[in-house]
Chains A and B, each alone.
Chain A
Amino acid sequence: MSALSLRGVEKVFNPGSDQEVRAVHGVDLSVERGEFISVIGPSGCGKSTLLRLIGDLTPPSSGTVLVNGKTPAKARLDRDYGMVFQSATLLEWRRVQANVELPLEIMGMDAAERSRQAAAMLELVQLDRFANHYPWQLSGGMQQRVAIARALVFKPSILLMDEPFGALDEMTRERMQSELLRIRAETGTTVVFVTHSIPEAVFLSTRVVIMSPRPGTITEVVDIDLPEPRSDETREDQHFFELLTGVREGLRAVEDS
């Protein structure tokens, strides 16, 4: 059973009105457990919408989405999704530890267990020293690591990330990418990752999905056969550059069409 299966997925906003937007059109995609899929495409092409369709934040107009063989609604109620957005969206009145505990609190886990698991997760993202800080006391990159810890603390089977590093500077961004791969190696989570950075997509992914401008549809899927585990050397690998070029040409083709 695939972690994710999309068949003929279509999303039209405000159908029938003069503000009708065909955001996503005829998307077919199958993702195996443990894969890291990046979705890349020109801005406004429906990447976020695709992610929201998977995550049951918006229903498809037609087509089917299956997550671990279930409807997105069922998967959401089963807490199969961890979500990370471009803004960390931490609750400013909660300390870092309490922010990470939030999903566990909502699941009704008892305080001691909650605190233990959140602490372990903070260690994984290397923020255990900041457990008692408030979000505003952290840098953007650290806040985003808290958001990742919060998304993974309840061990969701699929992690949905929408340009999570989009607001970070280049140095922080590369560090966060390596960090994310390390965390994923430990948790084995399936990841769907939206980005508009080609190097980011290539560095992180097992496959890169290229989308065309609106109505967004998948035009090409590029297999990223870089050796694992990836490291800073990967970024200097000849094959890394070839793959960058491949994805760039794929993107140029859709933008010109």
Chain B
Amino acid sequence: MSPNARRLLSFLGILAVLVAVWEGYKWMGTATGGVWPGTGIDLPVRTNERSMPHTWDIIIALLRPARRGGDMLLLVLLKAALFTWRSALLGFVLGSAVGFGLGVLFVRSALAERGLMPHVVASQTVPILAIAPILVVWAGRLNVTRWLVVAVVSAYLAFFPVAINTLRGLRSPDATASELMRSYAATPNQVLWKLQVPAALPYLFPALKIAATASIIGAIVGELPASMPDGLGRAILNFAAAFSAAPEKLFASILVASLVGIGFVGIVVLAERILIPPSRRLEDVGEAAGPRGRALKEVVA
């Protein structure tokens, strides 16, 4: 079986397990009246239709009109997702560029790293919910289109993993490689572009995958204070408000939001496949082994 087929199969398998756990828990709760079997202890989550709609009801809700006589919910959500994704994509690009730039700055200047790194780290501990309205208000005075503001909120979350991993990647070449460059009397820019950046690429992609998902979360959250009517943020808020009446719609929007995230990460993975040969790819797990760990794994006759 090809590795791709195996990956797809394990994805579907895990999906099936998740559905089975959801439905199994629901079935058990219904059978016992909401307690653990044989005890009087309440289950942590109620299993009625309000708390946990059937998985198939969620799928069916996607295929029904969102409101009487309107478009299919799936279509409505996909439209909203596309709108959100536009901000997220720009935020991703913006954030990645800023993150990469910071990585380069830090590797060039220990002073900049010492001075700025604590702020970079602190920036991520400030809740994005607090940052977003501030940015929206500031940008409102500057008359910037609102979806661009949302992109900035999204970039705020996306830049961090890229900055950290870029720095790590730029530092990854052996000391001897740097000494060789020195012996060729290479300029700092030549060292950067011919040694450090190519060495950093395998480190960059895992960060870009995180940045892709973070940028979508940033965009969804950014849409709320910007009171954008068209994005996933508003849709989720609306369905959350109507949760008790139609819980399956909120679950459906969560499903679509995560599909957008998966799609976005998929694009990054595709780019990685094209740009980084297998021997240099870092696994997302256990990347500490580094690209050299597997260098001699395959030997061409």
Contacts and interface: CB of A to CB of B under 8 A. Distances in A.
A102 B194 contact: yes
A106 B185 CA distance: 8
Nearest to A88: B176
Interface of A: 55-57, 76-79, 81-83, 85, 87, 89, 91-93, 102-103, 105-107, 133-137, 154
Contacts of A92: 279-280, 291-292, 295
**Contact size range, B:** 20 to 34
Interface string B181-218: 11111100010001100110100000000000000000
B300 interface: yes
A91 B198 contact: yes
B279 A76 contact: no
B177 A91 contact: yes
Nearest to B279: A136
A76 B182 contact: yes
25 contacts: A55-B183, A57-B179, A57-B182, A79-B185, A81-B183, A83-B180, A85-B176, A89-B174, A89-B180, A91-B177, A91-B199, A92-B280, A92-B291, A92-B292, A93-B198, A93-B280, A103-B184, A106-B185, A106-B186, A106-B190, A106-B194, A134-B279, A136-B295, A137-B299, A154-B184
B296 interface: yes
A69 to B, nearest CB: 18
Contact of B296 (A57, A136, A154): A136
Nearest to B186: A106
B179 A83 contact: yes
B183 A89 contact: no
A77 B182 CA distance: 9
A89 B181 CA distance: 11
B199 to A, nearest CB: 8
A76 B179 CA distance: 11
Contact of A83 (B183, B185, B190): B183
Contacts of B199: 91, 93
Contacts of B184: 79, 102-103, 106-107, 154
Interface string B257-299: 0000000000000000000010110000000000110011011
A79 B198 CA distance: 24
A133 B277 CA distance: 13
A92 B183 CA distance: 19
A81 B186 CA distance: 13
A93 B182 CA distance: 19
